[in-house]
């Protein structure tokens, strides 16, 4: 049976490593994959990665590199050497950059997944059309970038659950979709605009669900994580 635990990535968005340790200890064996983002990586001076590796947890290093090819590739080499199972760049950085990243990471650490962020889940249709000055809607833009990501040799994309099914159609089943913007019905949307419940997200083709505040800010994080996993399991059954 496919394990719901392997599909849930809990975002450790905290200002101190002590806060993160508190949650990881509380969740114990309930969660096996964590995301270390900019806030945690910078505030812990990278120590969060060593801490989680020491516990045998899987890590998504979410530093969203977006720069010229050489700079991004050098940063990606660093990421690939951190013993993380996944890290990301921005697809907006372009094909030359993504090709260079994919090639170098495959040489250094073939098992590390290099993925690219498409359209951030905090964007609405109106904001995207105004900010990117495009006539494409979010799904079209996300698919356009996902195709470029796939053709560059990368392993998958970060997208909202609303785009996952179309991206799988265009890029194939083995191309991974990593989806934040996941909200059980009982959770607040916060700053996320394109949200979906965990059950529907899995049914819509998301390979991994990234969930932060519904678990990290819950009164009972273990119960919240178990509720999310129960929804994932229901969708997988």
Ligand X SMILES: O=C(O)c1cc(=O)[nH]c(=O)n1[C@@H]1O[C@H](COP(=O)(O)O)[C@@H](O)[C@H]1O
Residues near ligand X, by CB under 6 A:
11, 13, 37, 62, 64, 88, 117, 120-121, 158, 180-181, 190, 192, 210-213
Interatomic CA distance for residues 231 and 99, integer angstroms = 36
Structure tokens belonging to residue 125: 């249709």
Cβ proximity to ligand X, 90 vs 150, nearer residue: 90
By C-beta, is 86 or 102 nearer to ligand X?
86
Alpha carbons within 13 angstroms on the beta-carbon side of residue 112 total: 25
Which residue has 């979010």 as its token pair? Answer: 138
Angle at 230 between CA 36 and CA 200, to 5 degrees: 80
| Contact criterion met (CB below 8 Å) for 128 and 121 | no
Instruction: Please indicate if the annotation marks 26 as binding a ligand.
Output: no
Was 28 annotated as part of a binding site? Answer: no
Tell whether 207 is in a known binding site.
Answer: no
Closest to ligand X by CB, 147 vs 193, is 193
Four-residue CA torsion sign, 16, 91, 236, 195: positive
The one catalytic residue in 19, 67, 83, 207 is 67
Give the C-alpha separation, 159 to 133, whole Å.
20
Q: Is position 83 annotated in a ligand binding site?
A: no
For residue 185, say whether it is annotated as part of any ligand binding site. Answer: no
For residue 220, the minimal CB distance to ligand X (Å) is 17
Q: Is the dihedral of CA 191, 198, 201, 62 positive or negative?
A: positive
Least distance to ligand X, CB of residue 34, Å: 11
Residue closer to ligand X, measured from CB, 61 or 105: 61
Q: State which residue, 69 or 184, has the beta carbon closest to ligand X.
A: 184
- Cα–Cα distances (Å) from 35 to 48, 95, 123, 167, 180, in that order, read 10, 25, 21, 22, 11
DSSP string, 29-88: GG--EEEEEHHHHHHTTTHHHHHHHHTT-EEEEEEEE-S-HHHHHHHHHHHHTT--SEEE
Q: How far is the CB of 88 from ligand X (least distance, A)?
A: 6
67 labelled catalytic: yes
Asked whether residue 233 is marked as a ligand-binding residue, the answer is no
- Active-site residue 191, yes or no? no
Min CB(37)–ligand X separation in Å: 5
Q: What is the smallest separation between the CB atom of 206 and ligand X, expressed in angstroms?
A: 12
The question of whether 62 is a catalytic residue gets the answer: yes
Which residues belong to the annotated binding site for substrate? 13, 35, 62-71, 121, 183, 192, 212-213
Which residues belong to the annotated binding site? 13, 35, 62-71, 121, 183, 192, 212-213
* Active site (catalytic) residues: 62, 64, 67
């Amino acid at each position: 049976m496919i394990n719901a635990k392997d599909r849930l990535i809990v975002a450790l968005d905290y200002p101190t490593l002590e806060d993160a340790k508190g949650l990881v200890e509380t969740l114990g064996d309930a969660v096996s994959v964590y995301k270390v983002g900019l806030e945690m990586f910078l505030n812990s001076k990278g120590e969060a990665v060593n801490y989680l590796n020491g516990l045998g947890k899987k890590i998504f290093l979410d530093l969203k590199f977006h720069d010229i090819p050489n700079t991004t590739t050098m940063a990606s080499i660093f990421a690939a050497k951190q013993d993380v199972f996944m890290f990301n760049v921005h697809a907006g950085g372009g094909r030359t950059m993504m090709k260079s990243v994919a090639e170098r990471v495959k040489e250094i650490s073939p098992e590390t997944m290099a993925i690219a962020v498409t359209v951030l889940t905090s964007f609405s249709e109106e904001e995207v059309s105004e900010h990117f000055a495009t006539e494409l809607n979010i799904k079209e833009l996300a698919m356009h970038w996902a195709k470029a990501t796939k053709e560059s040799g990368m392993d998958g994309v970060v997208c909202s659950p609303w785009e996952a099914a179309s991206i799988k159609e265009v890029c194939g089943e083995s191309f991974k979709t990593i989806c934040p913007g996941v909200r059980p019905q009982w959770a607040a949307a916060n700053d996320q605009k394109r949200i979906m419940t965990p059950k529907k997200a899995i049914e819509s083709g998301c390979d991994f669900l990234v969930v932060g505040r519904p678990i990290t800010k819950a009164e009972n994080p273990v119960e919240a994580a178990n509720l999310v996993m129960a929804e994932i399991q229901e969708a997988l059954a």
